[in-house]
């Protein structure tokens, strides 16, 4: 049996991919550009992809293909409807990154909320050494306790964020992006109300027709001065051009782990924000703790094992 891993670089050099050798011949590619996808997959029985697109053209050209393993939770890079028509199974791995994303959410929050970029620079520039005082309170910060935390998308990750926020003494409210979710533990709010009343807003929602450009200029303007906005869902949920305009007009603190285009283009408007200290951007790493990536690979192995128990290739 032949397995192909199309974008192994997204799994990291520190993760052992030798675990797949038990299934047969394994071809590993660090990255795969679109023009090489068919060539690399055409003899494969099983393809493992994180972000490489597997569409109708690829599936038609790969007659041996029986299983597509998505090295992620989201499967928008695979034409699921056509795969079903072709009898090709598609499996993802759910829940592997929850703890990692929750941890990164709070890492971003406290970095921004406690003005850590400023204080780190204050000490390393030796300004503190010459200050004549044992402390520095040039950039006042507040406690999380007693603040309202608004969550956009109260799914598995959103609920875990809510639990940790409550442990710090915050009050949690949420907005249902589908309009159909009702949680017995947290008050549900309309989006405009959540934005205008929350001190922290975090996004943990998928990108779809209901969430694309959900936070545009009009919505972003509703955030109160001093609020913290964190996007750990998908980049297209926040309109980046509008975000920069609002940030330049109002004191907002923003943490983005996802952007509309990834990697972030050199001509992105996000580089132009007037006060870059209030904008933290990480390169889509919230899901990437070592433990999360180990769980992800183990989940892919289990998916292949389950598939092979049901099918003979």
The CATH code of the domain that includes 6 is 3.40.50.720
Task: State the residue range of the domain holding 113.
Answer: 98-281
| Size of the chain, expressed as the number of residues it contains | 313
Indicate whether 213 and 105 sit together in one domain: yes
Helix (H) / strand (E) containing 7: none
Indicate whether 210 and 305 sit together in one domain: no
User: What's the whole-model pTM score?
Assistant: 0.94
Q: What is the pLDDT of residues 6-43, one digit of tens each?
A: 999 999 999 999 999 999 999 999 999 999 999 999 99
Total structural domains in the chain? 2
20: Cβ–Cβ under 8 A, 6 or more apart, which residues? Answer: 3, 5, 26, 48, 301, 304
Low-confidence stretches of the chain (pLDDT beneath 70): 313
Indicate whether 169 and 223 sit together in one domain: yes
Indicate whether 117 and 256 sit together in one domain: yes
Q: What is the pLDDT of residues 275-307, one digit of tens each?
A: 999 999 999 999 999 999 999 999 999 999 999
Indicate whether 206 and 225 sit together in one domain: yes
Question: Is there a contact between 175 and 194 (Cβ–Cβ < 8 Å)?
Answer: yes
Indicate whether 121 and 200 sit together in one domain: yes
Q: What is the pLDDT of residues 62-82, one digit of tens each?
A: 999 999 999 999 899 999 999
Q: Are strands 67-70 and 89-91 parallel, antiparallel or unpaired?
A: parallel
Indicate whether 174 and 243 sit together in one domain: yes
Q: What are the catalytic residues?
A: 234, 262, 284
Residue 215: closest CA among 172, 173, 277, 152: 152
């Amino acid at each position: 049996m032949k397995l192909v891993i199309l974008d192994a670089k997204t799994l990291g050099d520190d993760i052992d991919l030798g675990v797949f050798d038990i299934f047969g011949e394994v071809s590993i590619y660090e990255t795969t550009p679109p023009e090489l996808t068919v060539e690399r997959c055409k003899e494969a029985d099983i393809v493992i992809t994180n972000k490489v697109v597997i569409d109708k053209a690829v599936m038609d050209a790969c007659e041996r293909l029986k299983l597509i393993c998505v090295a992620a939770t989201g499967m928008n890079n695979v034409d699921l409807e056509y795969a079903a028509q072709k009898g090709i199974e598609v499996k993802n791995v759910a829940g592997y990154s929850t703890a990692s994303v929750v941890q990164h959410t709070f890492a971003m929050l406290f970095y921004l909320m406690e003005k850590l970029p400023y204080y780190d620079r204050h000490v390393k520039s030796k300004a503190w050494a010459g200050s004549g005082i044992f402390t520095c309170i040039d950039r006042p910060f507040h406690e999380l306790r007693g603040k309202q935390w608004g969550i956009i998308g109260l799914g598995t990750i959103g609920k875990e964020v809510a639990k940790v926020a409550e442990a710090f003494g915050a009050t949690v409210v949420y907005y249902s992006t589908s309009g159909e979710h009702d949680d017995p533990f947290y008050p549900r709010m309309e989006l405009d109300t959540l934005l205008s009343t929350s001190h922290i807003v975090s996004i943990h929602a998928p990108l779809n027709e209901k969430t694309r450009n959900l936070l545009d200029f009009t919505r972003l303007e509703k955030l109160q001065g001093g609020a913290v906005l964190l996007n750990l869902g998908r980049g297209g949920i926040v309109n980046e051009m509008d975000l920069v305009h609002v940030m330049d007009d109002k004191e907002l603190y923003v943490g983005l782990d996802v952007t509309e285009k990834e990697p972030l283009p050199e001509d992105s408007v996000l580089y132009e924000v007037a006060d870059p200290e209030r904008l933290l951007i990480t390169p889509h790493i919230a899901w990437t703790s070592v433990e999360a990536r180990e769980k992800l690979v183990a989940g892919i192995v289990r998916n292949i094992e389950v598939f092979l128990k049901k099918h003979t290739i």
